[in-house]
Amino acid sequence: MEFVCHVGSADGRVSKLVRTARDERALREELEREGLHVFGVERSVPLPSVRGVLGALGFSGRKKIALKTLQVFNQELAALLKAGLPLLQALNLMLERMKDPVLREVLTQVRDRVRSGVELSDAFAEFGDLFPPLYASTLKAGERTGELEVVIRRFIRYLRLVIEARKRVFSALIYPSVLVGLSILMLMVMAIYVMPRFREFYGAMELELPALTRITVGTSVFLRDNLLLIAAGLAVLGGIFSRWRRTAAGRLAVDRAKLRAPLFGAILQRFSVAEFCRSLATLLAGGLPLVPALQISTRAVGNAWIQRQLEPAAGRVTEGGSLYQALEQTGVFEDFAIDMVKVGEATGALDGMLGSISDFIDEEVETRMQRILSLIEPLMLIFMGIMVATLLLSVYLPMFSALGKMQ
């Protein structure tokens, strides 16, 4: 049987060992013969595989714990560690109050692995699909330096900045999204329900319809008669596209197309660069070496195309190149960011400079978003005016034609 042993050595160090023995009594005798003082022995509980746990939770692919939930969890964990509670006791206390069912199940597995002798960072790393890529690495840096609580608080600041940046972007997109949705709904109602009725009206009057009216009414009747078929076709195409998008090639193609989108492409690229810089700054400040920090920060970028462009940077630094040259060769950084990284390397304040880059880009993204959205609103109104005017013209042109012939 396997046991977890809490022992003390002659030089005063306390450690945790995982040993196999026939029973607890035999294990205690063996440890005492080795000159160790036994504080406690617990039987190790066999743990299910992480893949099995993820399957039972219904997780696949890129689903993750919500950033807000992760932020609250880490705030509580940092507070308990600062209060002087041992890690295992802190995890047990948090499990008693955990309400999120997914995080509760994951935390139970993490607690059991920590109890069996696994480090906290390794326990979370086994659930890599559920957490941001740099989370386990941040914890590992804290364990190496003995400042786990400090590193967790630094990660909390990182999460807060990411959440605020995303919140600003999504908030700015709410009004245009509502405007576009209502516009499409109004056009669909007019095309499917209003225009076909005028076809019957004109047919009863035996009017000769202008070309614009024939096109508009014909399109409306087609949409009305084939609405279910069109909806089913769109649903099938959407499902096929969704499956393809989850593949590596599909995600790469879609993310590259996003970067080429007019107006928003440049904003999305800057947002990805800010993600990378903020992640790298957090890991470097936590004590992680540059090359592994680069690799983890690259995986933390949400855009697959930007991620692919950044991947060679770690190899170039490993070969002896400077960071600013490696990032410059990726082609995704602007000149000001490269210059700031160069200064950060020269002065030994790389993490602070990377944080300044991400803050500056966040402000620039917000400014550009506001400018674009200020253009979108009048453009949408103009577009809606043109569409409504076209529909009204197609409705009234036959009447004007009939009145002209009567005169």
- The DSSP bridge partners found for residue 250 are none
Check whether 58 has a pLDDT greater than 70.
Answer: no
Structure tokens at 207: 């009017």
Angle subtended by helix axes 211-225 and 195-205, to nearest 10: 120
Q: Using CA of residue 78, residue 84, residue 85, residue 87, what is the dihedral sign?
A: positive
Model-level pTM? 0.61
Task: Indicate the helix (H) or strand (E) that contains 1.
Answer: none
Q: pLDDT digits over 195-219, tens only? A: 777 766 776 666 677 788 788 878 8
Beta bridge partners of 42: 4
Per DSSP, the residues of 13-79 read -EEEEEEE-SSHHHHHHHHHHTTPEEEEEEEPPP---HHHHHHHHT--TT----HHHHHHHHHHHHH
Q: What angle do CA 403, 405, 407 make, to 5 degrees?
A: 70
- Torsion sign across C-alpha atoms 317, 319, 321, 327: negative
More confident residue, 17 or 188: 188
Residue range 362-403, pLDDT digits in tens? 888 778 877 877 777 787 778 778 877 887 787 777 777 666
The answer to whether the beta carbons of residues 165 and 171 sit under 8 Å apart is no
Give CA–CA dist 324/343, Å, rounded: 9
Instruction: Give DSSP secondary structure letters for 233-299.
Output: HHHHHHHHHHHHHHSHHHHHHHHHHHHHSTTHHHHHHHHHHHHHHHHHHHHHHTT--HHHHHHHHHH
Mean pLDDT lowest for which of 102-106, 146-150, 234-238, 338-342?
A: 146-150
3-state secondary structure of 210: coil
CA distance 15 to 39: 10
Q: Enumerate the domain spans of the chain.
A: 1-44, 176-407
State mean pLDDT over 299-316. 87
Q: What does the pLDDT look like over 143-160, one tens digit per residue?
A: 776 778 888 888 888 788
Q: How many CB atoms lie within 10 A of CB 244?
A: 13
Are 336 and 315 spatial neighbours (Cβ–Cβ below 8 Å)? no
- Spell 199-230 as b/e; 16+ CB within 10 A means b: beebeeeebebeeebeebbeebeeeeeeeeee
Q: Which pLDDT value is given to residue 232?
A: 92
pLDDT over 80 (residue 161): no
Q: How far is CA 164 from CA 45, 131, 168, in A?
A: 41, 18, 6
Looking at the DSSP bridge assignments, the partners of residue 18 are 4
Q: What's the rounded Cα separation, in Å, for the pair 272 and 289?
A: 22
Q: Which fold has domain 176-407?
A: Receptor-associated Protein (1.20.81)
DSSP string, 113-182: HHHTT--HHHHHHTTTTTS-HHHHHHHHHHHHHT-HHHHHHHHHHHHHHHHHHHHHHHHHHHHHHHHHHH
* 3-class secondary-structure state, position 394: helix
For residue 385, count other CB atoms closer than 10 A to its CB. 10
pLDDT of amino acid 183? 74
In this prediction, what percent of the chain has a pLDDT beyond 90? 5
Residue 67: CB atoms within 10 A of its CB come to 16
Cα-based distances in Å from 301 to 246, 270, 386: 16, 11, 40
Tell me the pLDDT band of 237, cut-offs 50, 70 and 90.
very high
Q: What is the C-alpha separation between 202 and 316, in angstroms, rounded?
A: 73
- For position 240, what pLDDT does the model report? 93
